[in-house]
Amino acid sequence: MARNRCDGLLARVDFPLYALQTLTNRHILVAGGGGASNTGVANGFEIFELSHNGSRFVAEEVMRYETGPNVVMTCAVRSAGNRIFLTAGQESHCQLYRVNIKMVDPAEMRRGSFRAENGLIRRRRRTVSENNDNIPKKDSNSNTTEKRISFEIRSSDSVQTDFGEDPLQRVVRISHDGKFMATGGIDAVVRLWSFPKMQLLCELKGHTKELDDLDFSPCDTTLVSIAKDGLANLWPTSSQAPARSRGPLLQITCQPPNGSKYLFRRCRFGLIEDKKNAFRMFTIANPLARSGKQKGLIQLWDPKDGSLQKTVVVNESLASLAVRDDGRFVGIGTMYSGSVDIYIAFSLQRVLHVANAHMMFVTGLEFLPVRGYGPPVTSRSEAALLSISVDNCVAIHSLPCRSMMPAWMAIVLIIFVLFCTFTLCSYLGI
């Protein structure tokens, strides 16, 4: 039985949200915007710091960076020590940003003395749900005199990554070792780049329609791409870049249980616990037909041979997918109701359902990391899943730790067993 719990709204921004990334164990970045039209809706990034006050998660704005007329539809992050590389899809180009981590005094942050490169200053503020205005800003066990993390964002190189008739980069991913960047867009070509220099290494041509998603395997040996042609292609990404003429290692098509036509929507790899360099692959898929009740699919694959391991049918079309960095949990977001679910990765058993988490479809999901940079957020949750939507909201959904039997129930059970034992002995005359 799925446990129902929603921590709810963390923050509300003034532009639609399309991309979500974690920068550290307690810092998240959201991106989006209103586009190039003169609507007055901003384009850019906002960074929030998360904490837990003992009863719920709290978000504080750290900084904001506006990108002018360029809406950010997709982005990827990779850390290298105290420097973070951020790549953002802006129309036909991929823009590289260098994000420097700074340790500063809390008083200095409250004065709003940190300036983005474009001159925009934002004061740090608490941004929690309106019905929780008295929540403190720090963890109960934190030291207010300690330095806090802040960020400095500087734009760097930009490269064109899509060359279709109406070019648009739809997805960008960075390998875990930070050596490669993969991009895909309208022209149906997967491009592999060196990173962070962003020099084109090769073009992988195995799709006939625009790309929807990409992901690198945890050990960076494999890249998976999915597109609107219904294919999931697995490509080699060893230290030697794949040859231009080399085809995919595997080509997978969706295998629905009812025989209907389905198209992959998102793909993610996930680690297998207690197994070195072993990983699974997860996909979500939606029916091609637009009539009738739309039911989505979550599928678990063996990426070594492309065999399907498990399928779960969901009573709604799906929009987004995330896997926690240790591979234990999978999160999905729906297309119409804005609901969010968490599943156990190896069994695809649902353990949390949050109905109507957003007013519109879920555009991005990310788990709070357990292996990231800096101290983690301390809470009583087994997992915490962040979600965003074009409703301008950032929400968090926590999975309570699975506890043992309550003490009172154990005492009642012991008394009941002793009573039954005494009654049986009396009946037998022992």
pLDDT at 114 over 90: no
**Amino acid, single-letter form, for residue 81:** G
Rg (CA), the chain: 24
Residue with tokens 């995330």: 322
Q: Which two tokens stand for residue 67?
A: 């990108």
User: Three-state DSSP class for 381?
Assistant: strand
Is the separation of the CB atoms in 322 and 365 below 8 Å? yes
- 314, 317, 320, 324 alpha-carbon torsion, rounded to 10°: 0
Q: What is the pLDDT of residues 123-166, one digit of tens each?
A: 444 455 444 444 344 444 444 457 778 888 999 999 999 998 89
Residue with tokens 């030697």: 240
Q: What angle do CA 166, 262, 360 make, to 5 degrees?
A: 65
User: Three-state DSSP class for 414?
Assistant: helix
- Domains, the chain: 8-428 (2.130.10.10)
What band does 378 get if pLDDT is binned at 50, 70 and 90?
confident
Q: How big is the chain, counted in residues?
A: 430
Q: Determine the pLDDT at residue 302.
A: 96
Higher per-residue pLDDT: 392 or 127: 392
- Neighbouring CB atoms inside 10 A of 407's CB total 8
Q: What is the pLDDT of residues 295-345, one digit of tens each?
A: 999 999 999 999 999 999 999 999 999 999 999 999 999 999 999 999 999
pLDDT at 57 over 60: yes
Averaged pLDDT score across all residues of the chain: 85
Residues 6+ apart with CB under 8 A from 114: 63, 104, 121, 150, 152
DSSP state of 316: S
Could you give the percent of the chain with pLDDT greater than 90?
A: 62
Which of 277, 187, 204 lies closest to 241 in space, CA to CA? 204
For residue 254, report the phi and psi dihedrals to the nearest 5 degrees: -65, 140
